[in-house]
Amino acid sequence: MSKLVSNKDNLQILHEDNHIIVVNKRVGDIVQGDKTGDKPLSEIVKEYIKEKYNKPGEVFLGVVHRLDRPTTGIVVFARTSKALERLNAMFSNRETQKTYWAVVKNKPPKTSDILVHYLKRNPKNNTSKAHLKEVPDSKKASLDYTIIKELNNYFVLEINLHTGRHHQIRSQLQAIGCPIKGDLKYGFDRSNPDGGIHLHARKLSFIHPVTKEQLTVIAPTPNDTLWNDVKQ
Q: State the pairing for strand pair 199-207/72-78.
A: parallel
pLDDT digits (tens, 9 = 90+) for 89-135: 999 898 999 999 999 999 999 999 999 999 999 999 999 999 999 99
Distance CA 209, CA 213 (A): 8
Helix (H, G, I), strand (E, B) or coil at 77: strand
Domains of the chain, first to last: 13-222 (3.30.2350.10)
The pLDDT of residue 33: 77
